[in-house]
Amino acid sequence: MRKLTLAIAVIAPMLGHAASAEDTIKIGYIDPLSGGGASVGEGGLKTFQYLAEEMNAKGGILGKKIEIVGLDNKTNPQESLVQAQKAIDSGVRFITQGNGSSVAAALSDFVTKNNTRNPGKEVLYFNYAAVDPSLTNDKCSYWHFRWDAGSDIKMEALTNYMKDTPSIKKVYLINQDYSFGQSVRSDARKMLGAKRPDIQIVGDELHPLLKVTDFSPYIAKIKASGADSVVTGNWGQDIALLLKAAADAGLKVNWYTYYAGGAGGPTAIKQTGLDHQVFQITEGFANSGNQSAMDFEKAFRAKVGLSLWYPRAVNEMRMFKAAAEKANSIDPVKVAAALEDLKFEVLDGGQGLMRKDDHQFFQPIYISSFGKLAANEPFDEENTGWGWHLVSKVDTAQAMVSTTCKMARP
Amino acid sequence: MLELIVISTLNGVLFGMLLFLLSSGLTVIFSMMGVLNFAHASFYMLGAFFGFQLTKWIGFWPALVLAPLLVGAIGMAVERYGLRNTHKHGHVAELLLTFGLAFAIEEIVSMIWGKSPVDYRVPALLDFPAFTIFSTNYPAYKLFMLGVSVVIFVALLIVLKRTRVGLIVQAALTHPHMVGHLGHNVGRVFMAVFGVGSALAGLAGVIAGPALVTQSDMAAALGPILFVVIVFGGLGSLPGAFIASLVIGLVQTFAVALDGSLASAFGPLDPSAGPSVLTDIWNVTIAQVAPIVPYLLLVIILIVRPMGLMGTRES
């Protein structure tokens, strides 16, 4: 009797999920919702929820509603796999993740194995922010698709800009001690060395990921090195606290960053008073000048109360819809096939391409600087009165890099 | 180089004093009651969040007084209704109680304030650079933190060593019955001590909140280093905790400043000579291992001098 009760208790919820899976498409959002990465993780969750609501209001995908399931991975690869398994068990066939390339590598591997072992129950992994180049090179997977530009693509664009800035003479590198931070540092060394051999690298720092509570000692070191520019891939609290410590100490250098616009970053930059001396490289930004993107930004801010930090999430969700409609199916295998070589008009304007060879999405890349707003720039950040300003745009064709990916296809 | 030394010393002292502010309450509770309070860092976190909330409602300065009082009251309640009942079951039960409490507080805080950092800012009155050394600014708020820590240290020493209250508290620990016969309420003394210890943690939270990050995992992030401080300084010794805080603050700051590695001291290993793991270890800089240096100190002191720098009690 007890065994029967137990069996019913185990099976009943499964049936429930199977039934509800008919009319909704569940997307498992696996990212930090606690700890040092929580500010970016929660922002991402709200972005995806907004996008799902927006699509549901217009009839969803192939008549099915989209539901975002938020799962906290604490920026921990092991915890992510537990959450991914939990999601798959509850009927999720699409997962999305972005924060932490170490997490992304673990997830990509997990999904690949899962799909080999469970034919007919494949899962797709949409990566919207983990930019370690290896994910689309030697560690590439057919089931992984990336919408953000790899860190090598971004560094290529960033160093092309730095190359033409003669005032840069001494560069300090400070990055998080894990796969992504290390790839930023080695790419920066390699590309700056090739393009501007006269630039001196006066410091090359790695610090623990999301563990440092006070960056003053690091700032003291940057100051002592005599650097005029800092290159950093830091994200989450690591960039906000780094800029905060720089603001406190009054460090005056140019900052070349990937994520200075993250929560807390703009406030700290305003405090430093570094008007248009902090640069960021992204696939889009609030004041890009593209009308439909700016309309989207306005509506997004009004509803969510945040700036749109992930234009690529918009591209990801809209391309998902486009691929599903092209395949006329939400079966992950058919969606994956439809995504390959799919061309798509991105949010901030211009055509992007999901390259078949490595499942990397290529799109226009922007370098913007943070400071006082010009007349045609309506959006500030974190109520500072300062906002992002276009410095340089790299078109899709120029942002393409080669890949070493040898993909195992099903 | 001189610049780096001066600045690192300043940074180290500032961080060390913050550590002391945190560990002073833990030390007081341990030395008076023999209870190793695992929830201490959680009281610190409560202080930060109460400080944040009260600052929003009534401003920073009233919050600076009220929030520690609130945390102290919670501490007293924990002693009165929790620890006092488990005391008869011995130290392990007490330890487990505070351990469980730490988890409960973290969950409650993240339920109320969410898991991402709250926007807790330095009060406008102290939001300016106090002075400039070698073109590096020092925020007035950091000096304020330093001042508060020193005042607390001196005040605690005086109260414990020089006043009647301190006498009764110390006597109550070793001879509770005698103190009871003399007409003092021993239970109330313990409750007050626990309350003061918790309030100190709360005060540290209110002050450190704007300078560091106020979020629901801050207790877990700072908890371990606190135990390093009190064990290193000597369990129950206030001057020991003071010295240990400074040493750990300085060691950690200077470790970050040093780029030296085994490779730079002895020359690089030929990569072809050995497996790459070896060359990796050879090239790790002191700066990279800075975060684990305090724990290394803990291990060493436990081996060499188990009672800690100035402790009298075997742990």
| d(C-alpha A203, C-alpha B256), whole Å | 12
In a domain, A164, yes or no: yes
Q: Are strands A144-146 and A124-127 parallel, antiparallel or unpaired?
A: parallel
* Domain match, A120 and A158 both: no
- pLDDT tens digits for A324-375? 999 999 999 999 999 999 999 999 989 999 999 999 999 999 999 999 999 8
Measured at the alpha carbon of residue B300, what is the angle toward residues B299 and B303, in degrees to the nearest 5? 90
User: What are residue A64's phi and psi, to 5 degrees?
Assistant: -105, 145
| d(C-alpha A84, C-alpha A68), whole Å | 13
In a domain, A189, yes or no: yes
Q: How far is CA B108 from CA A251, B45, B113, B141, in A?
A: 38, 11, 9, 29
Residue at token pair 């999405």: A361
A236: left (phi > 0), else alpha (psi -120 to 50), else beta?
left
Q: Which residues of chain B have pLDDT under 50?
A: 315
Asked if the C-beta of B118 comes within 8 angstroms of chain A's C-beta atoms, the answer is no
Chain B residues inside the 8 Å CB shell of A227: none
A248 Cα to chain B: minimum distance (Å): 6
The count of structural domains within chain A is 2
- pLDDT tens digits for A189-225? 999 999 999 999 999 999 988 888 889 889 999 998 9
* Domain match, A121 and A223 both: no
Substitution target from B256, B259, B289 for chain A, most A beta carbons within 10 A: B256
Concatenating the DSSP letter of every residue in B267-290 gives -PPPTTTS-HHHHHHHH-BHHHHG
Chain B residues inside the 8 Å CB shell of A223: 3, 7, 134-136
Chain B residues inside the 8 Å CB shell of A205: 287
Task: Give the per-residue SS3 of B95-141.
Answer: HHHHHHHHHHHHHHHHHHHCCCCCCCCCCHHHCCEEEEECCEEEEHH
B248 Cα to chain A: minimum distance (Å): 14
Classified as helix, coil or strand, A381 is: coil
Size of interface A-B (CB pairs under 8 A): 93
Domain ranges, residue A349 = 24-149+293-362
Residues with Cβ < 8 Å from A383, sequence gap 6 or more? Answer: none
Q: How confident is the model at residue A249 (pLDDT cuts 50, 70, 90)?
A: confident
* Domain match, A143 and A158 both: no
Question: Mean pLDDT across the stretch A276-295?
Answer: 93
Asked if the C-beta of A35 comes within 8 angstroms of chain B's C-beta atoms, the answer is yes
- pLDDT tens digits for A182-198? 999 999 999 999 999 99
pTM of the model: 0.84
Q: Which residue of A34, A39, A220 is in closest CB contact with B11? A: A220
Chain B residues inside the 8 Å CB shell of A213: 212-213, 221-222
- Chain A: residue whose CA lies nearest to B133: A249
Average model confidence (pLDDT) for chain A? 90
| d(C-alpha A338, C-alpha A324), whole Å | 7
Q: Are strands A254-257 and A278-282 parallel, antiparallel or unpaired?
A: parallel
- By the 10 Å C-beta count (0-12 exposed, 13-18 middle, 19+ buried), A297 is classed as buried
Substitution target from B116, B118, B292 for chain A, most A beta carbons within 10 A: B116
Stronger pLDDT, B132 or A320, i.e. the higher one: A320
User: What are residue A345's phi and psi, to 5 degrees?
Assistant: -80, 115
B136 Cα to chain A: minimum distance (Å): 5
Q: Please give the pLDDT value at position B135.
A: 77
- By the 10 Å C-beta count (0-12 exposed, 13-18 middle, 19+ buried), A334 is classed as middle
* Domain match, A250 and A167 both: yes
B175 Cα to chain A: minimum distance (Å): 43
Complex ipTM: 0.83
| Closest-CA residue to A55 (of A25, A75, A20) | A25
- Look at the alpha carbons of B129, B130, B131, B137 in this order and tell me if their dihedral is positive or negative: negative
Classified as helix, coil or strand, A254 is: strand
Give me the domains of chain B, ranges plus CATH numbers: 1-304 (1.10.3470)
Concatenating the DSSP letter of every residue in B206-263 gives HHHHHHS--STTHHHHHHHHHHHHHHHH-TT-HHHHHHHHHHHHHHHHHHHH---BHH
- By the 10 Å C-beta count (0-12 exposed, 13-18 middle, 19+ buried), A2 is classed as exposed
In a domain, A12, yes or no: no
Q: Domain containing A235 — which CATH number?
A: 3.40.50.2300
B141 Cα to chain A: minimum distance (Å): 10
| d(C-alpha B179, C-alpha B186), whole Å | 7
Structure tokens at B134: 């070698």
* Domain match, A126 and A184 both: no
* Domain match, A41 and A137 both: yes
Chain B residues inside the 8 Å CB shell of A185: none
Chain B residues inside the 8 Å CB shell of A208: 291
Concatenating the DSSP letter of every residue in A92-126 gives --EEEE-S-HHHHHHHHHHHHHHHHHSTTS--EEE
Q: Which residue of A33, A220, A241 is in closest CB contact with B136? A: A220
Exposure string of A220-252, with b = 16+ CB inside 10 Å and e = fewer, is: bbbbbbebbbbbbbbbbbbbbbbbbbbbbbbbe
- pLDDT tens digits for B225-241? 888 898 888 877 888 99
Yes or no, beta carbons of B115 and A212 under 8 Å apart: no
* Domain match, A230 and A340 both: no
Chain B residues inside the 8 Å CB shell of A309: none
* Domain match, A214 and A233 both: yes
* Domain match, A253 and A194 both: yes
Yes or no, beta carbons of A221 and B139 under 8 Å apart: no
Chain A residues inside the 8 Å CB shell of B261: none
* Domain match, A99 and A62 both: yes
Q: How confident is the model at residue A3 (pLDDT cuts 50, 70, 90)?
A: low
| d(C-alpha B35, C-alpha B190), whole Å | 11
* Domain match, A42 and A95 both: yes
Classified as helix, coil or strand, A23 is: coil
| Closest-CA residue to B134 (of B303, B245, B2) | B2
In a domain, A322, yes or no: yes
B232 Cα to chain A: minimum distance (Å): 21
- Look at the alpha carbons of A222, A223, A226, A230 in this order and tell me if their dihedral is positive or negative: positive
Length of chain B: 315
Count Cα atoms within 13 angstroms, Cβ side, for B176.
9
